[in-house]
Amino acid sequence: MSTRAAEVSSSGAAGHSAGAYLLRVSLFAVLYFGLARLADSVLVFVEAGEPVTPVWPPAGLALAGLLLWGYRFWPAIPLGHALAYLSVLDHPPLPLLTLSLAVAGNTAAALVSAYLLPRFAGFDAALERLQDVLGLLVVGALVGGAVAATVGVASLWLTGIIPESAWGPVWRVWWIGDVLGVLGAAPAVLAWGARPRRAVARERGWEAVSLLVAAVAVSGLVFRLGIGESYAIFPVLVWAALRFGQRGAATTMVVVLGMAAWYTTHGYGPFVEARVSESLVDLQTFIAVVAVTALILAATVSERQRAQADLRQANEELETRVIERTAQLSQAYDELSRLHEQEVEYLREVDKVTGAAAAVESGSVLPESLTGVAQRPDKLGQLARVFRRMAQEVVARESRLKEQVAQLRIEIDEAKKVRQVAEITETEYFQQLRQRAQQLRNPRGA
């Protein structure tokens, strides 16, 4: 992934003094020098008097270094290369121009690849995805190797070291060496240098040791003793890829390929043929097949594991979300129930008011239940209070009216009246009064 590569490079740029930079460049250069010396001294076929390096691991280290730490460490490449060249005194000296151009070609190859990889493939240095492995193969190995081979062969031809007719074979040898160097060496450096997406559990220490022992043992059996076929090495690689991811695969690959190259160039193992050129092809084919297979297998396994982990995490998240949502739902339900109860209670109170209204309408006594409702502080309570007051007023007015109607209705107890009148009229006094009424009214007229 480009951002991760950029992160790595920027963290290298920031916060470090010039001294730290020089130290790291020196370290990088020394590593390069060492690897180059190793390749030059031990991994060499001699074909028709000319030394041929079947695989050029420094190309892989150069690319991996730039990818991990940043472009600005590029000086380590020419520095390491020049040191390696100068430290070897027994080969015919090359003109300075030739040497400079070739070194520039190697450096340019690493820079071009390190520049292109993140842009074309969204490269992640941990190589845990298939696209990263394919990116490394196409852009890092094939394209980078082509750049180095083209510049290198051109420098030889321009300075008259080789004739024009030698272009093809020399370019091919150079290119294949670089391609295999990148495929063989870069993954181990990248896998260990980059942060893996998922760390391998530490408790697998014994298994890792067993894997290394197995890799060394099988490689020794096949390439030193010639027992068994070269593909016997694949179970070990599969084990490494399945159990230890890209770090395990890349490391095992370095061990296996290193031993294969060493023993083959020293005349042991199944790739030794009558002609050196055939041995070269056998070994290079083996390296390419092993590297591509191991890298792709490890990346695929990592992707699968990551997918499983993602799925597990998604499941867990989903479960958490389900629990949360269930809790929310339950809370919402409780709230709804509470509201519903409130509503039911409210309606019950409303019933009391309407009941009271019905009671008043039918002329019975205002029910006591209204008192509770009237104590509510809300609108219903206000309604109940107003209604109670009105009902009381209506009752009072009605009783007043009844009283008035009673006052209006003049009822006379006739029997009683007759008795009362008789009590008066039957008296002697009344009889006299009646008889003398005329005289009394007009005493003088009598």
Partner 1 sequence: MATTIAVHSFRGGTGKSNVTANLAATMARRGRRVGVVDTDIQSPGIHVLFGLDEEKMGRSLNDYLWGRCGIDEVAHDVSAVVKGAGVTVGGLYLIPSSIKAGEIARVLREGYDVERLNTGLHEFIDHLKLDYLFIDTHPGLNEETLLSITISDVLLIILRPDRQDYQGTAVTVEVARKLDVPRLLLIVNKALAALDFDALRQQAEHAYQAPVAAVLPLSEDVVQLASSGIFCLRYPDHAWTREIDRIVDQITR
Report the interface residues with partner 1, using CB under 8 A.
400-401, 404, 406-413, 416-417, 420-421, 424-425, 429-430, 433-434, 437, 440-441, 443-444
Structure tokens at 376: 């509510």
In the complex with partner 1, the residue whose CB is nearer, 18 or 437, is 437
In terms of CB distance, is 10 or 427 closer to partner 1? 427
Torsion sign over Cα 363, 369, 371, 373: negative
Q: Rounded to the nearest whole angstrom, what is the least distance from the CB of residue 363 to partner 1 in the complex?
A: 20
CB of 418 to partner 1, least distance (A): 8
Identify which of residues 96 and 406 has a Cβ nearer to partner 1 in the complex: 406
What contacts 12, CB < 8 A, 6 or more positions away? Answer: 24, 69, 70, 72, 73
CB of 403 to partner 1, least distance (A): 9
- Give me the least distance between CB of 416 and partner 1, in Å please: 7
Minimum distance between the CB of residue 360 and partner 1, rounded to whole angstroms?
21
Residue closer to partner 1 (CB basis): 10 or 404: 404
- Smallest gap from residue 386 Cβ to partner 1 (A): 24
Of 312 and 417, which CB lies nearer to partner 1 in the complex structure?
417
312 or 402: CB nearest partner 1? 402
Of 48 and 406, nearer to partner 1 (C-beta) is 406
Write down the least CB distance from residue 402 to partner 1, Å. 12
Q: Which two tokens stand for residue 217?
A: 């043992």
Residue carrying the six token digits 């009064």? 433
From CA 269, how far away is CA 338, in angstroms rounded? 85
Q: Rounded to the nearest whole angstrom, what is the least distance from the CB of residue 410 to partner 1 in the complex?
A: 4
Residue 394 CB, shortest distance to partner 1, in Å, is 15
Q: How far is the CB of 417 from partner 1 (least distance, A)?
A: 5
Q: Least CB distance from residue 335 to partner 1, whole Å? A: 56
Residue closer to partner 1 (CB basis): 304 or 436: 436
Name the residue type at position 337. Answer: S
Report the distance separating Cα 302 and Cα 151, nearest Å.
Answer: 37
Minimum CB distance to partner 1 smaller for 316 or for 403: 403
Give the separation between CA 299 and CA 220, rounded to whole angstroms.
Answer: 27
Q: Which is nearer to partner 1, 48 or 424 (CB)?
A: 424
Nearer to partner 1, 379 or 409 (CB): 409
Q: Which residues make beta-bridge pairs with 45?
A: 52
Tokens 């390190």 belong to residue: 114
DSSP collapsed to 3 states, the chain:
CHHHHHHHHHHHHCCCCHHHHHHHHHHHHHHHHHHHHHHHHHCCEEECCEEECCCCHHHHHHHHHHHHHCHHHCCHHHHHHHHHHHHCCCCCCCCHHHHHHHHHHHHHHHHHHHHHHHHHHCCCCCCCCHHHHHHHHHHHHHHHHHHHHHHHHHHHHHCCCCCHHHHHHHHHHHHHHHHHHHHHHHHHHHHHHCCCCCCCCHHHHHHHHHHHHHHHHHHHHHHHCCCCCHHHHHHHHHHHHHHHHHHHHHHHHHHHHHHHHHHHHCCCCCCCCCCHHHHHHHHHHHHHHHHHHHHHHHHHHHHHHHHHHHHHHHHHHHHHHHHHHHHHHHHHHHHHHHHHHHHHHHHHHHHHHHHHHHHHHHCCCCCCHHHHHHCCCCHHHHHHHHHHHHHHHHHHHHHHHHHHHHHHCCCCCHHHHHHHHHHHHCCHHHHHHHHCHHHHHCCCCC
